[in-house]
């Protein structure tokens, strides 16, 4: 799941890759940037698309999947001030599954210290599902843990823009609207994936970060339109949303775009103490309240609740 932008390439190299759903190396806190509109001022670059599979998915629903039979989230017992959790996705699937660009790794599953698990819906970029989502949902349910979901969002390739940009709730007369429609379609695809897996969650986190081999455009406002479209797809379906990233990576992808939604903040290969420090105002990503800090330890993504969050876990998780 979160799960940083106008920086030089040298600085970005120092940041390293985000953990698991993301994660980041240690970075210095920065102040917020002004809000930007989601309408691009210049044409966005499409990238070469050489590594993108040509067989685009055909099971993107035209409307929001019917999730009305999803049971209400049961009450979560009051927990200690610090509750520990984990996040998992395609890297934890058995080796060799998934699309060629994101082959699964057989990475270790969470330890017994985890009371909650946030599960990724995508196999890296948009429109490609986590190949073992149903199995991961079962793993969490069998252990009676709390569960939530996240999805990576990525910039559409030309074929995706052509296929999905011409339909949706946004204008089709300009690039910003078409990009937002693609983000909306990606959300519908993920909701269909969620329904098929049986995973229950009151929130879907949107992971905003660079996606290797599925690069974002150089137009930050165009990128923000894609993110905005995905967010609307989830909220139209009745889900809470939040964002996973770091300040530096957020700024790199969408500039000063601000939503004010809750945040899941990555600290990379550091420590619990560093992850908790990310709960502070200096690490704000897009103007929202921090719910979790994430760090990487022993090859696992680990998470901890920010101060004051443990008493409200029923709002953010389904208790199995």
The one-character DSSP state at 150 is E
The burial class, CB within 10 Å (0-12 / 13-18 / 19+), for 159 is middle
Express each pLDDT in 94-149 by its tens digit.
999 999 999 999 999 999 999 999 999 999 999 999 999 999 999 999 999 999 99
Express each pLDDT in 182-205 by its tens digit.
999 999 999 999 999 999 999 999
Class of domain 9-25+57-319: alpha beta
Selected residue with higher pLDDT from 278 and 63: 278
Three-class secondary structure of residue 148 per DSSP: strand
Q: Minimal CA–CA distance to 74: which of 232, 194, 202, 263? A: 202
Which residues touch 182 (CB under 8 Å, ≥6 apart)?
126, 156, 160, 161, 164, 165, 168, 226, 229
Selected residue with higher pLDDT from 9 and 144: 144
Answer whether 134's CB lies under 8 Å from 142's CB.
no
Q: What angle do CA 209, 210, 212 make, to 5 degrees?
A: 140
- Give CA–CA dist 163/101, Å, rounded: 22
Q: Minimal CA–CA distance to 224: which of 249, 248, 255? A: 255
How far from chain centre, in Å, is Cα 65?
Answer: 20
Query: Which position has the token pair 């502070």?
Result: 280
Express each pLDDT in 219-242 by its tens digit.
999 999 999 999 999 999 999 999
Which pTM value belongs to this model?
A: 0.80
Which residues touch 312 (CB under 8 Å, ≥6 apart)?
none
Mean pLDDT in the chain?
Answer: 83
């Amino acid at each position: 799941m979160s799960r940083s932008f106008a920086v030089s390439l040298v600085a970005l190299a120092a940041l390293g890759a985000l953990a698991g759903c993301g994660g980041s190396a240690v970075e210095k806190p920065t102040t917020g940037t002004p809000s930007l509109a989601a309408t691009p001022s210049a044409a966005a670059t499409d990238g070469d698309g050489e590594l993108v599979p040509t067989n685009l998915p055909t099971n993107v629903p035209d409307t929001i999947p019917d999730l009305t039979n999803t049971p209400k989230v049961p009450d979560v017992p009051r927990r200690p001030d610090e509750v520990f959790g984990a996040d998992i996705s395609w890297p934890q699937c058995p080796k060799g599954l998934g699309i060629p660009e994101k082959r699964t790794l057989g990475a270790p599953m969470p330890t017994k210290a985890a009371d909650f698990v946030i599960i990724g819906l995508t196999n890296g970029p948009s429109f490609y599902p986590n190949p073992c989502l149903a199995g991961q949902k079962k793993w969490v349910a069998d252990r009676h843990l709390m569960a939530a979901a996240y999805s990576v969002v990525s910039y559409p390739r030309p074929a995706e823009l052509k296929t999905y940009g011409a339909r949706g709730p946004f204008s089709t007369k300009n690039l910003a609207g078409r990009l937002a429609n693609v983000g909306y379609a990606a959300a519908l695809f993920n909701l269909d994936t969620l329904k098929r897996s049986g995973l229950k969650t009151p929130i879907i986190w949107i992971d905003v970060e660079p996606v290797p081999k599925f690069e974002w455009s150089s137009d930050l406002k165009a990128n923000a339109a894609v993110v905005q479209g995905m967010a609307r797809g989830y909220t139209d379906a009745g889900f809470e949303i939040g964002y996973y990233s770091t300040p530096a990576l957020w700024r790199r992808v969408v500039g000063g775009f601000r939503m004010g939604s809750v945040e899941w903040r990555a600290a990379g290969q550091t420590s619990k103490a560093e992850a908790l420090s990310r709960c502070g105002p200096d690490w704000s990503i897009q103007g929202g309240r921090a719910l979790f800090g994430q760090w990487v330890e022993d090859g696992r993504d680990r998470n901890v609740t920010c101060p004051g969050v443990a008493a409200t876990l029923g709002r953010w998780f389904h208790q199995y």
